[in-house]
Structure 1
Amino acid sequence: MSTSILLKTHSSDISEGVYQYNLIVTNKTIEDFGEVKVYGIEICADDMYERVDDISSNANIVVQLLRILEDNNCSPLHLKDVVEDFLENL
């Protein structure tokens, strides 16, 4: 069983609209470890939405990524690609 909780919200005004960047936490049950908190990100806009759960169990890493997304006005369309590139370069 997993549940998600919104931890932080950041908004960025850009010419295409307003993007809202959310840090989320999900409680995930892992066999032999029990319940573990994992962190993800969602980006919301008026007509777009994308979410990536379980990026890392390290909140600091996901907050760092969230700041990069916000600083670069990342669109929901590019979230999955940016997360993948970020994790490959850790």
Structure 2
Amino acid sequence: MKAGSPFIAPLTGLALELLRPHLQSDPTVRLFKPTGRNRLHEAAQRLVEGLKMERWAPHDLRRTATTILDKSGYSLEQIGVLRTPARE
């Protein structure tokens, strides 16, 4: 969620394939728990320290995904839809 708005993005075929068994066993199950604002950042820090990686932050993943999509030929409009929180 960004600025109080949910973010909705389409899932890839692989993601659907991996999630489908969980949804079939219980369609009401929550696959992802809500987390605090800093939980993802804290998890990234633990990975960096534990694996002795070069420092990175979760926002770097967002920029990397945007770059990959751009180089794969997606339009800026398509990329923008994925980066923009959904409006209700």
Length-normalised TM-score, structure 2: 0.22
Which structure's residues are more often helix, by fraction? 2
Query: Which structure's relative contact order is higher, taking Cα pairs within 8 Å and 6+ residues apart?
Result: 2
Judging by fraction of residues, say which structure has more strand. 1
